[in-house]
Structure 1
Amino acid sequence: MSEHGDQVPGYRMIRMEALPEAPAAALADVEAWQARKAYPDVLGGGGPVFTVAEELESGGWEIISQFSSPYPQGARDSMAMMFRERARTAEDAGDTETQQEWLRGAERLDWEALDELTVLGRRFRTVRGDQFIRMGPTGPEPPRPSDPDPAKPGHAHEYRGRTKGFVIDPFTPTGMSEGILRMELLSLVHARGTAPSAVRKDSLRALETHPGGVLLPAEFTAAEFTDGHWAPRQMTNASPQGSRDTLTTYLRVMAPVMQKLDEKKRAEYGRLADRMDDERCDEIVVDGCRTRIVRVERLVRVGPDGPEGPRPSDIDPELPTAVQEEQLREEGVFDEYRVLNEKETEQRRIADEQAKEFLRLFEEQRRRRDGDTDKA
């Protein structure tokens, strides 16, 4: 950073505190340091994710939606939805002019793949985050004791998490271990031959355009050990229990229908789900495959104009909603009078039967969660 002399830009600074004042923060910093020894390797954690952030007058950017969309368009759709929510609030307050401004912003997003938009003088941006997993001799790092995990089994959806409302601001002080990890992650790029050339090129460019960064609160996923390596099998959750609940729902609801399990296998999967609920364990074996709840670190790169947006090489297969709807209408998908052929009729019948079975199993899961039934 010598090219800046003594005037290092704020977005390139990492302010570290020797010892956090709060006991919980101090414990988390110690655990982070211990993880460096037990899980020394840092690997990519399943590709980038995207969210929406709003620039604050006080500095930094506040995350205002879930940070979980695998594609930029998912974040753009969330932005349009939030604009419509703010339009309704303005309408309820009798402010028609403000309502129309928010609606105009939402309508633009319906038709255009915009990654930044200013409405009523406020800037909103689609923000990109990289995901990483620490790996050691025994596999990926599981949740740490200091990771918040307050929800009971089956109730993780009630936990709001720590990401929505988080302010992306590199100037905010951090613990020593987190600061060191941030420096490590900021230096990582795709090695030659490990990614398409366009992806590697963008990762190298990001070192120059967005050299700073902020670590977000960790999230969690379930990873499965197959073919000699670990691979995530679900999207991230805000808490370890969220990933356990997702896994038990798969075992009790999704797998029986999607895999057409017989009663013996359904009972086996049910016992595994019961064990996760009873023990809140972070590793089980499903059909001979180890499945572990894994901690996922997430980093947002920051440059002179704020957090990084989508890169040209990021996968972005989805269209804006209005464009997509227009295409479907042109293809006749919304023609309610179109006559289904025999194959389509059979496919719909099978889908209806699967939907009924899903609903039945989901209802059993809900009753189990709410304590209205005994375990199967």
Structure 2
Amino acid sequence: MQGECDGADRVPPYRTIRVAPLAEPVAAMADEEAWLARERYPVLMGFRPVFGPARERRTEADGKARWQLLSYFGAPTPQSARDGLGSHFRRRAHEAREAGDEETRAACQAAAERLDREALDELTVLGERYRVVRAENVIRSGPAGPEPPRPSDPDPAAPGTARRLPDRTAGFVLDAAAPTGPSEGILKAELLASAHREGDEPQVREDARRAAVTHPGGVLLPPAFLFAEEECGAWRSETGDSGTPQEARDSLTMLLRVLAPALQNLDEATRAVYKEAADRLDEERGVELRFAGRRLRLVRVERFVRIGPDGPEGPRPSDYDPDEPVLVQDERMRAEEVDVEDEDEADDPELAARVALLQRLTEEELARRNGDT
């Protein structure tokens, strides 16, 4: 770890942790909160990988190549991130067609079609490299459980509107040498030293040890947020990653008002209890929710990307990646003569009723969030 004037030019930028004074008041407050979190929540836990697409771009100012994240980072598997990258190219192809740019349209459409058939973690399109990037989600925990959001974490949206905000990770530059505060610098050093955990499978440990050598630098992304539920003293995720605390609350209220009633076939009394809990969460905007004997907490998640001489780390061989590209799945199912119409909801009255309930509850929730009710 180096101070801002400690001869960092003698160290490759990707191996640099550059600590600098924080003159901006909000940044200084955030670093102080991070230091207090080290005392209150001293244990680093979780270490769950997530994935997202990035592209390498050269700036006109200095000509240096820098990797930038594309929209939404936090896919649970590499294939989910590949699908997201395919969607990115389809959007670009559509925009290029509207603009009359045939060269860009053809290149982006071809890239999307390749991703439909091949499990590619990196490809070059129009002279720019694209890569599926791996990060690890890490949660701080202490005697009272996992760390909730900090006062300095942005949370500007009203209930039901968080997804309208810009994605905080879209365009985020993965610059390991960017100046950071003391607390963040220490956290980066701790995570770089945490190559693997006790109890990991041999392949997971081997991949982690290899990554510590091939990607010895690191970058902290903007934090994510999720709801976790306590069960017998342990905590498990109940919602996926969200960009702000309110987005995580919105995910949970959607689960309570819509998904759980329809998918779990809840009775009317239980549905009323879940709805009351969702209404209370909207009203109070708190970090804990108790109902029906359950205890859920809004949890802050650190996200850490390893960096090497060729940029950010991609998926590891041991990462969970069960799905095939979409056209490969389709061809396999056709070869196995799987008839998707066998699952037609019209042949299953109970399934049809659940689908109808899901559709009705979804429409009601969207109308409520749009202020139509």
Spell out the pairing of 1:1-376 with structure 2 (5 A cutoff). Answer: 7-18=10-21, 20-45=22-47, 47-58=48-59, 59-192=65-198, 194-333=199-338, 340=342, 348-373=348-373
Q: Which amino acid aligns with 1:367?
A: A
Deviation of 1:326 after TM superposition, in Å, equals 1.1
CA–CA distance in 2 between the matches of 1:335 and 1:263? 32
Secondary structure (helix, strand or coil) at the match of 2:58 reads: coil
CA–CA distance in 2 between the matches of 1:48 and 1:254? 25
- Measured against aligned partners, the alpha-carbon deviations of 1:224-245 in whole angstroms (never above 9, x if no partner) come to 1102211112211001011111
Deviation of 1:347 after TM superposition, in Å, equals 6.1
Deviation of 1:331 after TM superposition, in Å, equals 2.9
Deviation of 1:86 after TM superposition, in Å, equals 1.8
Report which stretch shifted further, 261-270 or 150-159.
261-270
Deviation of 1:334 after TM superposition, in Å, equals 5.7
Per the alignment, do residues 248 and 196 of structure 1 end up closer, same or farther by CA in structure 2, a change over 3 Å counting?
Answer: same
- Measured against aligned partners, the alpha-carbon deviations of 1:309-338 in whole angstroms (never above 9, x if no partner) come to 0001011111112111111222334676xx
Per the alignment, do residues 211 and 280 of structure 1 end up closer, same or farther by CA in structure 2, a change over 3 Å counting?
Answer: same
CA–CA distance in 2 between the matches of 1:335 and 1:288? 39
Per the alignment, do residues 262 and 108 of structure 1 end up closer, same or farther by CA in structure 2, a change over 3 Å counting?
Answer: closer
CA–CA distance in 1 between the matches of 2:218 and 2:315? 15
CA–CA distance in 2 between the matches of 1:335 and 1:145? 49
Would the aligned equivalents of 1:29 and 1:176 in 2 still touch at CA under 8 Å? yes
Deviation of 1:346 after TM superposition, in Å, equals 7.3
- Measured against aligned partners, the alpha-carbon deviations of 1:284-309 in whole angstroms (never above 9, x if no partner) come to 12332210000000000000100000
Q: Which amino acid aligns with 2:112?
A: A
Would the aligned equivalents of 1:161 and 1:239 in 2 still touch at CA under 8 Å? no
Deviation of 1:5 after TM superposition, in Å, equals 11
Q: Percent identity?
A: 52
The TM-score normalised by the length of structure 1 is 0.91
- Measured against aligned partners, the alpha-carbon deviations of 1:110-138 in whole angstroms (never above 9, x if no partner) come to 21111110111110001000010000111
CA–CA distance in 2 between the matches of 1:259 and 1:161? 31
Deviation of 1:214 after TM superposition, in Å, equals 0.1
Per the alignment, do residues 344 and 88 of structure 1 end up closer, same or farther by CA in structure 2, a change over 3 Å counting?
Answer: closer
Q: Which amino acid aligns with 2:186?
A: I
